[in-house]
Amino acid sequence: MSLRQFLSFTALTLPACVLLIFFLDQPLALFFYQYFGWAMPFFGALTAAADATHGALKMHVVGIPVIFLALGVAFVVGRYVLRQRGATLFLVLLLTHEFSMVLARVLKGVVHRLRPEVLFGTGYPGLGLWQPGPHNDSFPSTHTAVYFSLFWPLAVAFPRWRVPLLALPVLIGVGRLVLGAHYLSDVWFSLWLVAGFTYLFGLLGQPRFKVDDEEALKAD
Q: What is the pLDDT of residue 212?
A: 41
The model carries a pTM of 0.92
42 is a domain residue: yes
193 is a domain residue: yes
186 is a domain residue: yes
218 is a domain residue: no
128 is a domain residue: yes
Q: What is the pLDDT of residue 207?
A: 62
What is the DSSP code string of the chain?
A: --HHHHHHHHHHHHHHHHHIIIIIHHHHHHHHHHHSGGGHHHHHHHHHHHHHHHHHHT-EETTEEHHHHHHHHHHHIIIIIS--GGGHHHHHHHHHHHHHHHHHHHHHHHH-PPPHHHHHTT--STT--S--SSS---SS-HHHHHHHHHHHHHHHH-GGGHHHHHHHHHHHHHHHHHTTS--HHHHHHHHHHHHHHHHHHHGGGS----HHHHHHHHH-
220 is a domain residue: no
When divided into structural domains, the chain yields a total of 1
174 is a domain residue: yes
Q: What is the pLDDT of residue 219?
A: 47
Per-residue tens of pLDDT for the chain, all 220 residues:
789 999 999 999 999 999 999 999 999 999 999 999 999 999 999 999 999 999 999 999 988 999 999 999 999 999 999 999 999 999 999 999 999 999 999 999 999 999 999 999 999 999 999 999 899 999 999 999 999 999 999 999 999 999 999 999 999 999 999 999 999 999 999 999 999 999 999 998 776 544 444 444 454 4
210 is a domain residue: no
Which range of residues forms the domain containing residue 199?
3-205
